[in-house]
Amino acid sequence: MAAKHRFYLPAEDCRNAELSLSPGDTHHAINVLRLREGDRFSVLDGEGTELLCRISNREGDRIRGRILARNPLPAPACRLTLVQGVTKGKSMDWIIQKATELGCGTVIPVLSERTVIRCDSSQAKDKQAKWEDIAIEAMKQCGQGWRPEILTPLPLSEVISRQLLPASQPSLLASLQPDARHPRKRLEPYLKNGDLPPEGIAVWIGPEGDFTPAEINTIRQNGALPITLGPLLLRSETAAVYALSILNYEFQTE
């Protein structure tokens, strides 16, 4: 019997026959969900396992649960990476949430010339921690078994110099340039004749106002192929969901 309430714990905290929910999840389970001893819940470990548990007792500010079953979740057929120009306000939070729901494996936030938000190393770490929390909440909501990796915001030059995107894997750039092609055209080599999908694929999405022409040239010189998302001018967050939805659909497992 499946449990309808999901929580998250790192895999290292799920090794034994029993586990303990965090104080925050315990508060939510007791005061919001009204769970009691004997009730079932599930835990995602972020590494492809969902654990079915039963509440055994409560110790202080933590619920303890006995693990009844460990259910493996299928790994994505193709690891998706979103290279996202950091957007302003809460739209970046929304992008992280939706990227997680769409099975994105890695999000690389990029600080480009037209990025409104600026941050030092401490602020970048704070943003990363916030976005990781948002991703975990999205995991629990949708049942995503694999926790996405959220990097700290990085200047475009560092994304390139650190070689964060393997050269062996395809990379796409959402673009308004005249030579941008339909995504399926760029994906044809990986879709025809029943060939296996690539191990991973990345898509670049610019911030408000898009990447500058110089930045676009740099991204393209490092192997990204321009794709069109249609004739309409999309918001950055809409473009991110659009592109990830296409890739998720094309490379999802049967």
Q: How many CB atoms lie within 10 A of CB 194?
A: 5
| CB neighbour burial string for 114-147, b if at least 16 within 10 angstroms, e if fewer | ebeeebeeeebeebbeebbebbbebbbeeebbbb
pLDDT at 128 over 90: yes
Q: How many helices (H) and strands (E) does the chain have?
A: 7, 12
By mean pLDDT, which of 44-48, 105-109, 171-175, 195-199 is the weakest? 195-199
**pLDDT tier at 121, thresholds 50, 70, 90:** confident
Query: Between β-strands 40-44 and 49-59, what pairing exists: parallel, antiparallel or unpaired?
Result: antiparallel
Residue 207 confidence (pLDDT): 92
Q: Which pLDDT tens digit goes with each residue over 24-58?
A: 999 999 889 898 888 999 999 999 999 999 999 88
Q: Which two tokens stand for residue 38?
A: 């004997």
Residue 140 confidence (pLDDT): 93
Q: Which pLDDT tens digit goes with each residue over 194-244?
A: 666 788 999 999 999 899 999 999 999 999 999 999 988 899 999 999 999
Domain architecture of the chain: domains with CATH: 6-72 (2.40.240.20), 79-251 (3.40.1280.10)
Residue 99, C-beta contacts closer than 8 angstroms, at least 6 positions apart: 82, 84, 107, 135, 148, 240, 244
Using DSSP, state whether 159 is helix, strand or coil: helix
